[in-house]
């Protein structure tokens, strides 16, 4: 159950009129409220340029609140109670006066204090620094992580390459300390991703064979069956490598491949992830293919002749003793044939298998599949005798489907992340060390693609992507 701080909580959402606030942040806060995880008293204050009043803001939010955690008969009352604590201030992001107005509003609604304050930057990335500086100039923030605390939440993408990321980190650090800064990669809040450490380090059947001696290759794959839709303007600035691979898939890779951390405390987990990321050889153009789905150039907000990749696939190598020679295939794409994010770990054939092979013919490999979405699943492919009088073998699957295995609701990633921010648990957030190391892997590739104007191969929408790369040709 929630830690009782004895203080109230204000959540300030800068960019509250946007998609992320409406669809993710506020519904997650409502779910936490329904489960009793928000401190009392609390309030949510949105800031954006759109000229809304409190009732307008509440009307915008209401359709997105779902009562997953309360009986239907209590739903309307919970919604009413929650909406009554939501307020809105219309203002400009770079105006000190707007933040002074916000501050006055906060003081009016923060009754029964003291109040901790969470500032959520739900605005396009180019505004992060300006918002933080203006907020700082308005004197809105407590310094350090003292109580009552002020914490800032920033969404990826954090910069466009190593240099711009460093600039952003340095700029934000002039206003918020590292301890106050929570960099969100929402994949880290997903249940299956949080389980990776437990799966690896709490199961004797996996940890001893988790190395190049037993693992032949790993594939980390992210596929979406839709295009960029209304987010074309944003996506075109970043492309699939910056939007998905440098953050979500690289974080997954770090958790799959890192050495055992000294403890599960945030600084130990981060140290192990950072060491792993530093051991990944920088991605180079020769081992990567990029593509763009046919029709991308006709999407709203996409400039004529854009070379932005909507698909990328390649291989990463990790230069350490555990993983020497094991390829980590990574691929991500939009406009593909299905929506799935999964990790596939293929084991080597062993001497004992060769004996079976002599009796039964070629064997399929053991494979561990960890599916993150759409349905949480862990599957282990084992070689099994097919029942019958003859010696025939086949790969069969041990299935752990979360929906049927656990009679509990699986929390949304944002519920988990917001609760951790309130509780000051930083283990699911990206530290500056991890961020720098992950940009070091991809910055050379990104610069090469841009400096050489590499044209992505066009692929048909709804297919498996572009380029006969290692990842796309390796059928696993």
Binding positions for ligand NAP, rule: CB under 6 A: 15, 17-21, 48-50, 122-125, 127, 155-156
Least distance in Å: CB of 24 to ligand NAP? Answer: 6
Nearer to ligand NAP, 125 or 239 (CB): 125
The closest residue (CB) to ligand NAP is: 18
Helix (H, G, I), strand (E, B) or coil at 44: strand
Q: How far apart are the C-alpha atoms of 257 and 145, rounded to whole Å? A: 32
Least distance in Å: CB of 11 to ligand NAP? Answer: 15
List the catalytic residues: 248
Nearest 10 degrees: CA dihedral of 167, 170, 175, 179? 130
Q: At what angle do helices 250-257 and 432-451 cross, to 10 degrees?
A: 130
Least distance in Å: CB of 157 to ligand NAP? Answer: 6
Least distance in Å: CB of 22 to ligand NAP? Answer: 8
Nearer to ligand NAP, 16 or 336 (CB): 16
Query: For residue 155, which phi and psi values (nearest 5 degrees)?
Result: -95, 150
Nearer to ligand NAP, 155 or 420 (CB): 155
Q: How far apart are the C-alpha atoms of 13 and 24, rounded to whole Å? A: 12
Least distance in Å: CB of 184 to ligand NAP? Answer: 8
User: Pairing relation of β-strands 288-293 and 311-316?
Assistant: antiparallel
Nearer to ligand NAP, 20 or 65 (CB): 20
Nearer to ligand NAP, 127 or 458 (CB): 127
Q: How far apart are the C-alpha atoms of 327 and 315, rounded to whole Å? A: 6
Contact in structure between 150 and 138 (CB atoms under 8 Å): no
Contact in structure between 286 and 444 (CB atoms under 8 Å): no
Contact in structure between 31 and 67 (CB atoms under 8 Å): no
Q: How far apart are the C-alpha atoms of 232 and 220, rounded to whole Å? A: 25
């Amino acid at each position: 159950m929630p830690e009782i701080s004895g203080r109230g909580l204000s959540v300030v959402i800068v960019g509250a009129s946007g998609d992320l606030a409406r669809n993710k942040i506020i519904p997650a806060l409502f779910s936490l409220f329904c489960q009793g995880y928000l401190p009392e008293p609390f309030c949510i204050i949105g800031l954006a340029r759109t000229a809304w009043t409190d009732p307008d803001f509440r009307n915008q939010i209401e359709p997105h609140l779902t009562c997953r955690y309360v009986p239907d008969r209590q739903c309307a009352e919970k919604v009413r109670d929650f909406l009554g604590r939501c307020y809105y201030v219309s203002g400009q992001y770079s105006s000190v006066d707007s933040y002074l107005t916000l501050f006055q509003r906060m003081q009016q609604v923060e009754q029964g204090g003291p109040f901790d304050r969470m500032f959520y930057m739900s605005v396009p990335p180019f505004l992060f620094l300006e918002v933080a500086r203006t907020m700082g100039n308005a004197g809105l923030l407590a310094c350090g992580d003292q109580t009552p605390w002020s914490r800032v939440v920033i969404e990826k993408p954090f910069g466009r390459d190593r240099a711009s990321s460093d600039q952003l980190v340095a700029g934000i650090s002039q206003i918020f300390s590292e301890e106050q800064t929570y960099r969100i990669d929402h994949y880290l809040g997903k249940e299956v991703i949080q389980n990776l450490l437990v799966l690896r380090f709490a199961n004797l059947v996996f940890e001893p064979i988790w190395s190049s001696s037993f693992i032949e290759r790993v594939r980390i794959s992210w596929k979406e069956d839709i295009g960029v839709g209304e987010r074309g303007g944003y996506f075109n600035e970043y492309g699939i490598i910056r939007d998905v691979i440098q953050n979500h898939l690289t974080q997954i890779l770090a958790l799959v491949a890192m050495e055992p951390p000294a403890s599960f405390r945030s600084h130990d987990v981060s140290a192990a992830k950072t060491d792993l990321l530093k051991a990944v050889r920088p991605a180079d153009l020769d081992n990567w293919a990029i593509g763009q789905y046919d029709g991308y150039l006709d999407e709203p907000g996409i400039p004529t002749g854009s070379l932005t990749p909507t698909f990328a696939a390649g291989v990463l190598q990790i230069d350490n003793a555990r993983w020497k020679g094991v390829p980590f295939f990574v691929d991500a794409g939009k406009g593909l044939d299905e929506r799935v994010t999964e990790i596939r770990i293929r084991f080597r054939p062993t001497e004992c298998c060769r004996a079976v092979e002599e009796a039964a013919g070629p064997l399929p490999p053991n494979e561990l599949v960890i599916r993150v979405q759409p349905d949480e699943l862990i599957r282990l492919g084992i070689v099994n005798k097919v029942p019958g009088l003859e010696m025939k073998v086949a790969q069969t699957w041990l299935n752990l489907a979360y929906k049927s295995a656990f009679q509990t609701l699986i929390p949304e990633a944002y519920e988990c992340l917001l609760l951790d921010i309130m509780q000051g648990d930083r283990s699911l957030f990206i530290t500056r060390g991890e961020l720098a190391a992950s940009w070091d892997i991809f910055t050379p590739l990104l610069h090469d693609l841009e400096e050489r104007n590499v044209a992505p191969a066009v692929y048909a929408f709804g297919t498996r992507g572009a380029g006969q790369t290692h990842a796309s040709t390796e059928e696993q």
